[in-house]
Amino acid sequence: MNVKNESMNLIDLNKTSPCVLSVSGRFIRQIREMIEKDEDAFPEIFGLGHVKRRLVEALATGSGVLIKGDFGVGKTHLCSAVVSVLKNYYLTHPIYTNEGCPVRENAVHLYNYIVNNDHAALENVCPVCRHQYAASTAESVPIERVYIAEGGGFARVQGNEDIEPEKILGMYHLIRFAEIGDPFDPRVLEGGKIAQASGGVLFVDELGLMNNEAQYALIQALQEKSYTPTNSKMTFPVDLLFVSTTNNTNDLRIHKAVANRLVGIPVGRVGFDDEVLIVKKELSQMSFVMRFPELFIEFIVSAIRALNNIAVYLGPRSTIRAARMACASAFIEGRAAVSFCDVKEGLYTEIRGQGDEQTFDEINEMLAKDFPSAVEFLKERVPLIENAFSVIDQYKDTETAFLYIDKQLIDDIMACLCEADRSHETIKAYLDAYAVSVNIEPLC
Ligand SMILES: [Zn+2]
C-alpha cells in the first residue's frame, strides 16, 4: 500500500469520498457485502445460525450485546468474528482520523466544522482535537488512516473482581498535569479500554465477574455514546460495538442497570453433528496427524454429551480435549490410528480431570455406572456389525477372528461406513471395541 495515501491533511479528505457511517453502520455494510459475495462472516463457527443472525441484527442497531451460555459453546469465537468483519471493512474502506486523536474519531466531523462551518459537527470532535485543531485551517491538520488492531480499535477486558473503573474509563493524572502543564498531553490523559476500543469493538469476557463499579463505568459509554475519564471534566465522544459474554452461572451477577442496556443473546450447545465438525477441525490442527475412525469421534461426542451434568459439567471443550488426548495416546503407543483403548483413555482422563476433591467419588461412580457402551453405539450405527461381533466370540483375538469373518459381510459393513472409514484397519478397530468389552485380547 502506498504510504503517501496513509497520512495527509484534512483538506484532502474530500478527495477520498470519506466514510460517514457509524461503526455499527460499517459493520452491517460489511456483512451485506459479504453476503453478496457469498462469503461467510463466521467461517470458524459451526451451527448456531440463529445466534449469528441475532448478533448481527443487534449490533447493526448500535446496541451492545451480552452473549450468554455455558463454557465452550463458542461465545468468544463469535466476538472474534465480529472483530474480523470490521477489520475487513477498514481494509477496503479508507477511514481517517485527526492525528493524535485519543478516540480515533472520524476526521469527517472536524472537516465539516472547519470547511463547512457546521457547528453541530463539533459535538463529535473530542476535547483533545478541539484544543489542538479547532482553530486551525484544514490545510494544516494532519490526518491518518485507521485500521483495527488490538489496542487501537479493539480492546478486550477479561472480567474479574479487581478491575477498577479507571481501567475502563482512562484516567486524568493530576500530579502529572502539575509536572507537565499541558492537560492534553497523553501522559496526563491516559486512555482506558473504551478509548482503545473506540472506532471498533470493546469486548468484555465474563461481564458478571466484574465488580459493580467497573460495570457502571460501562453504562455511560453504552447509553450516551460518550465517556468521562476518572478525575476529568472532559467528555469524549465514543463510537464502538460493545460485545460481552457471560457464563450462565454468572448471569445474575450482572447489574440490572447494565443488563437492561444490552441485548441478551442466549447460545445453546451446538447440535451433535456440528459438535462432531468442531472436533474434526480441532483435530486437523494438531501437530501430529492420526487416523481417527469416524465412529470413534462420534462416540466421544455422544459419550461426553450423555455424561454431561451427572457429576460435572462437560461442554464441547471437554469433547475436544478427550479427542485430542485419544490422539496423543495413540501417538505415544506408536499407532498410526486411534484405537478404542485410546478413545477410552481420552474420555476417562478428560472426565476425571473435570472433578475436584468433592466430586471425585461421584465421577468414578458415574464412570462405572453410566459410561455408554461403545458396542451398543456401533450396533446402532452399523447394525450389520453385530454379525461380525459374534464371530469374535469364537476366537481369542480380533486378528484371528477377522480371517474367519465372511468377506461379503465385511464388504456390506464397509458399504455402511462413511468413505474415510472404509478400510479393513478401521473395521478391525471397531471389532476391537467389542473385544475389549468382552475381555477378548484386542489388537491394541
Ligand atoms: Zn479527537
pLDDT tens-digit readout, 228-244: 999 998 999 999 999 99
In the chain the first and final C-alpha atoms are separated, in Å, by 57
**CA 145 to ligand 1 centroid distance, Å:** 14
Please name the amino acid found at residue 205: D
Write down which residue in 241, 266, 291 finishes a domain: 266
Give domain status of residue 210, yes or no.
Answer: yes
CATH of residue 74: 3.40.50.300
- Ligand 1 mean position, distance from CA 60 (Å): 24
Share above pLDDT 70 across residues of the chain, in percent, rounded to a whole number? 98
Instruction: Look at residue 438 in the predicted model and tell me its pLDDT.
Output: 80
Q: Are 169 and 228 in contact (CB under 8 A)?
A: yes
Whole-model pTM? 0.79
Regarding whether 280 and 217 lie in a shared domain, the answer is: no
Pairing of strands 236-237, 226-227: antiparallel
pLDDT at site 4: 45
Domain shared by 167 and 48, yes or no: yes
- Identify the pLDDT of residue 421: 94
Q: Which three cell numbers stand for residue 73?
A: 459453546
Q: For residue 156, report the distance from its CA to the centre of ligand 1, in Å.
A: 21
Cell of 360: 471425585
**Residue 256 within any structural domain of the chain:** yes
Host H or E run for residue 64? strand 64-69
Q: How confident is the model at residue 162 (pLDDT cuts 50, 70, 90)?
A: very high
Do residues 149 and 125 make contact, with C-beta atoms less than 8 angstroms apart? no
Q: In angstroms, what is the span from residue 102 Cα to ligand 1's centroid?
A: 6
- Ligand 1 centroid from CA 125, angstroms: 5
For residue 412, the CA-to-ligand 1 centroid distance in Å is: 71
| 129 and 198 within one domain | yes
Residue 36 reports pLDDT greater than 80: yes
pLDDT at 222 over 80: no
Q: Residue 185, by phi and psi: left (phi above 0), alpha (psi -120 to 50) or beta? A: beta
Residues 151 and 31 in one domain: yes
CA of 231 from ligand 1 middle (Å) equals 19
Is 353 in the same domain as 421?
Answer: yes
If you ran DSSP here, which 8-state letter would residue 9 be given? E
d(CA 165, CA 171): 9
444 inside domain: no
At residue 368 the predicted structure's pLDDT band, cuts being 50, 70 and 90, is very high
pLDDT at 221: 76
Q: pLDDT class for 2, splitting at 50, 70, 90?
A: very low
At which of 205, 235, 266 does a domain end?
266
Measured in angstroms, how far is the CA atom of residue 238 from the centroid of ligand 1? 10
* Ligand 1 centroid to residue 131 C-alpha, Å: 9
Taking the centre of ligand 1 as the mean of its atom positions, its distance from the CA of residue 153, in whole angstroms, is 14
Distance 112 CA to ligand 1 centre (A): 14
Q: Rounded to the nearest whole angstrom, what is the distance from the C-alpha of residue 195 to the centroid of ligand 1?
A: 10
Write out pLDDT tens, residues 260-295.
Answer: 899 999 988 888 998 999 899 889 988 888 899 999
In terms of C-beta density within 10 A (0-12 exposed, 13-18 middle, 19 or more buried), how is residue 256 classed? exposed
d(CA 331, ligand 1 centre) in Å: 56
**Ligand 1 mean position to 5 CA, how many Å?**
20
Q: Tell me how far the alpha carbon of residue 58 lies from the centroid of ligand 1, in angstroms.
A: 27
Clarify whether residues 183 and 296 are in a common domain: no
Q: Indicate if 357 and 260 belong to the same structural domain.
A: no
Band of residue 3 on the pLDDT scale cut at 50, 70, 90: very low
Shared domain for 121 and 172, answered yes or no, is yes
* Distance of CA 136 from the midpoint of ligand 1 (Å): 14
- Domain residues for the domain of 408 are 272-437
Give pLDDT tens digits for 308-364: 999 999 988 999 999 999 999 999 999 999 999 999 999 999 999 998 888 999 999
Asked, for residue 443, whether it belongs to a domain, the answer is no
Q: What is the pLDDT of residue 177?
A: 84
Stated as kind and residue range, the H or E segment containing 274 is: helix 272-284
How many angstroms is it from 20 CA to the middle of ligand 1? 16
Domain count, the chain: 2
Decide which of 203, 231, 266 is a domain's last residue.
Answer: 266
Q: How far apart are CA 426 and CA 12, in angstroms?
A: 66
With cell 476535547, the residue in question is 127
**How does pLDDT run across 37-74, given as a tens digit for each residue?**
988 888 777 777 888 899 999 999 989 999 998 877 77
Ligand 1 centroid to Cα of residue 91, in Å, is 21
Q: What is the pLDDT of residue 269?
A: 83
**pLDDT value at residue 13:** 92
Q: How far is the CA of 54 from the centre of ligand 1 (A)?
A: 32
Q: Report if residue 21 sits inside a domain.
A: yes
Q: For 329-333, which contacts have Cβ atoms below 8 Å and span 24 or more sequence positions? A: 330/290, 331/288, 331/290, 333/444
130 C-alpha to center of ligand 1: Å? 7
Say if residue 85's pLDDT is above 90: yes
> Do 193 and 326 sit in the same domain of this protein?
no
State the pLDDT confidence band at 442, using cuts at 50, 70 and 90. low
Distance in Å, CA 418 to ligand 1 centroid:
59
306 & 164 share domain: no
User: pLDDT value at position 43?
Assistant: 78
**Do 348 and 201 reside in the same domain of the chain?**
no
Adjacent-strand bridge partners of 244: 66, 204
Give the distance (Å) from ligand 1 centre to CA of residue 244. Answer: 26
The better pLDDT of the pair 10, 177 is held by 10
- In this predicted model, what pLDDT tens digit does every residue of 396-414 receive, in sequence order? 788 888 899 999 999 999 9
* Rounded distance from Cα 105 to ligand 1 centre (Å): 5
What local confidence, expressed as pLDDT, does residue 443 receive? 54
Whether the per-residue pLDDT at 1 is higher than 70: the answer is: no
How remote is the CA of residue 129 from the centroid of ligand 1, in Å? 4
pLDDT higher than threshold 70 for residue 5: no
